[in-house]
Structure 1
Amino acid sequence: MTIQVVVAPGRAPKDALGRDLPAGTFAVNEKDPFWARLLRDRDLVPPPASSGSAAATVAQAAPAQEVKK
């Protein structure tokens, strides 16, 4: 399964070939033993949620209005 990750602050892990990992968000296969170790050791972490994401947005209820009969 592929997930999006970023390098954790203060960490400088390399890929399996010894290259620097990209800055910013990138995809890894969490089932691959190499990437699973980096995830387990917290060298890679989920990207921070953006403030405009749908999951972070909370719907605000409209104020109730009095119904006149």
Structure 2
Amino acid sequence: MKDGIANNSTASISQARKAVEQLKMEACMDRIKVSKAAADLMAYCDAHIREDPLIMPVPASENPFREKKFFCTIL
């Protein structure tokens, strides 16, 4: 019975140490406000809009995935 309690206690201590290490790492991170991060993201998107194929479609002549049109030659 004591072995089970000791193992459980050891696991609990191990989990607590991992949590403390994670919290220490997070405390050292530089943080910025969400409004600044959003503004930076919008500026990045605006600066790279020409390279985004979802906004500026790839010309059909350069698109390797375009549908190929086949015509019926039997008729």
TM-score between the two structures when normalised by the length of structure 1: 0.28
Greater percentage in strand? 1
Q: Flag the structure with larger Rg.
A: 2
Greater percentage in helix? 2
**Larger RCO of the pair (alpha carbons < 8 Å, separation 6+):** 1
